[in-house]
Amino acid sequence: MEKYLQNQVIEAIAVILNRVKESGELRLDTIPTVVVEPPKRPEWGDFSSSVAMTLASHVRQPPLKVAELLATGLRVQYADVFVSVNVAPPGFLNLTLHPLRWVQVLRMIQDRGPLYGTSNIGKRKRILLEFVSANPTGPLHVGHGRGAALGQALARLLASVGFMVSREFYINDAGRQLQLLGRSVYARYREHWEKPTSFPEDGYHGDYIKIVAESVAKTHGPSLLDASLDEAETLCAQLASQMLLDRIKEDLATFGVEFDSWFSEKCLHTAGLIQQSLDELRQKRLLIEENGAWWFRSSEFGDEKDRVAQKQDGSYTYLAADIAYHRQKLERGFDTLINIWGADHHGYIPRMEATVQAFGFAKEALRIVLVQMVSLRRGGQKIEMSKRAGEFVTLREVIDEVGPDAAKFFFLMRRADTHLDFDLELAKQQSSDNPVYYVQYAHARLASLFRVAQERQVPLPTVQGVDQALLIQDEELGLIKTLAQYPFVVESSAMALEPHRVTFYLQELAAQLHAYYNKNRVLPSVDPERNAGDMGANIKSGASENTAALSQERIYESIPPDLTAARLALLRQVQTVIGNGLAILGISAPDKM
RNA sequence: GCGCCUGUAGCUCAGUGGAUAGAGCACUUGCCUCCGGAGCAAGGGGCCACAGGUUCAAAUCCUGUCAGGCGCACCA
pLDDT tens figures, A323-353: 999 999 999 999 999 999 998 899 999 999 9
- A185 has pLDDT over 60: yes
C1’ B26 / CA A154, Å: 33
**How high is the pLDDT of residue A428?**
80
The nucleotide minimizing the C1' distance to residue A542's CA is: B31
Q: A205-251 pLDDT, tens per residue?
A: 888 999 999 999 999 999 999 999 999 999 999 999 999 999 999 99
Q: Which of A371, A295, A359 lies closest to A332, judged by CA?
A: A359
- A430 has pLDDT over 80: no
Query: C-alpha distances in angstroms, A410 versus A59, A316, A330, A587?
Result: 49, 39, 33, 11
CA dist A488 and A501 (Å) reads: 11
- A135 has pLDDT over 70: yes
Q: Report chain A's terminal Cα–Cα distance, integer Å.
A: 36
- A195 has pLDDT over 70: yes
Nucleotides of B under 7 A from a protein CB: 2-7, 12-20, 22-26, 31-41, 55-57, 69-76
Residue nearest to nucleotide B69 (CA to C1'): A419
**How high is the pLDDT of residue A310?**
95
C1’ B33 / CA A490, Å: 43
Residue nearest to nucleotide B68 (CA to C1'): A419
- A426 has pLDDT over 90: no
Q: What is the ipTM of this complex?
A: 0.95
Phi-psi domain of A333 (left: phi exceeds 0; alpha: psi -120 through 50; beta: other): left
Residue nearest to nucleotide B12 (CA to C1'): A421
C1’ B3 / CA A277, Å: 28
The nucleotide minimizing the C1' distance to residue A553's CA is: B33
Q: A282-313 pLDDT, tens per residue?
A: 999 999 999 899 999 999 998 888 999 999 99
C1’ B51 / CA A88, Å: 33
C1’ B27 / CA A505, Å: 27
Q: A361-372 pLDDT, tens per residue?
A: 998 899 999 999
- A383 has pLDDT over 90: no
**How high is the pLDDT of residue A536?**
37
**How high is the pLDDT of residue A532?**
44
- A84 has pLDDT over 60: yes
Question: Which amino acid belongs to residue A43?
Answer: E
Mean pLDDT of chain A: 89
- Phi, psi (deg, nearest 5) at residue A536: -80, -5
CA dist A319 and A303 (Å) reads: 14
Query: C-alpha distances in angstroms, A481 versus A5, A7, A64, A155, A159?
Result: 10, 14, 27, 27, 25
Which residues, 6+ apart, have CB-to-CB distance to A207 below 8 Å?
Answer: A390
**How high is the pLDDT of residue A31?**
82
DSSP string spanning A478-537?
Answer: HHHHHHHHHHHHHHHHHHTT-THHHHHHHHHHHHHHHHHHHH---SPPSSTTGGG-STTT
The nucleotide minimizing the C1' distance to residue A519's CA is: B40
Q: Which range, A57-61, A343-347, A369-373, A566-570, is most confident?
A: A566-570
C1’ B14 / CA A498, Å: 12
- Phi, psi (deg, nearest 5) at residue A342: -65, 145
C1’ B52 / CA A91, Å: 29
The nucleotide minimizing the C1' distance to residue A308's CA is: B74
The nucleotide minimizing the C1' distance to residue A55's CA is: B56
- A504 has pLDDT over 80: yes
| Beta carbons of A523 and A457 less than 8 angstroms apart | no
| Residue A128: alpha-carbon gap to chain centroid | 16
CA dist A50 and A63 (Å) reads: 9
**How high is the pLDDT of residue A557?**
55
C1’ B43 / CA A542, Å: 19
What domains lie within chain A, and their CATH numbers? Answer: 5-97 (3.30.1360.70), 435-585 (1.10.730.10)
| Beta carbons of A234 and A182 less than 8 angstroms apart | yes
pLDDT interval class at A548 (50, 70, 90): very low
| Beta carbons of A117 and A159 less than 8 angstroms apart | no
> What's the rounded mean pLDDT across residues A562-579?
95
* Bridge partners, residue A48, by sequence: A37, A94
**How high is the pLDDT of residue A224?**
93
- A503 has pLDDT over 60: yes
Continuous segment of H or E residues that includes residue A52: helix A51-59
The nucleotide minimizing the C1' distance to residue A54's CA is: B56
pLDDT interval class at A385 (50, 70, 90): low
Q: A391-411 pLDDT, tens per residue?
A: 568 899 999 988 999 999 999
Half-sphere exposure of A182 (CA within 13 A, CB side): 19
The nucleotide minimizing the C1' distance to residue A322's CA is: B76
- A547 has pLDDT over 80: no
| Beta carbons of A558 and A533 less than 8 angstroms apart | yes
Helix axes A500-519, A561-585, angle to 10 degrees: 160
C1’ B8 / CA A38, Å: 23
DSSP string spanning A145-190?
Answer: HHHHHHHHHHHHHHHHTT-EEEEEEEE--SSHHHHHHHHHHHHHHH
CA dist A514 and A499 (Å) reads: 23
Residue nearest to nucleotide B5 (CA to C1'): A417
C1’ B18 / CA A154, Å: 30
The nucleotide minimizing the C1' distance to residue A433's CA is: B25
For CA atoms A57, A63, A68, A70, the dihedral sign is positive
User: What's the angle, vertex CA A184, arms to CA A147 and CA A320, rounded to 5?
Assistant: 55
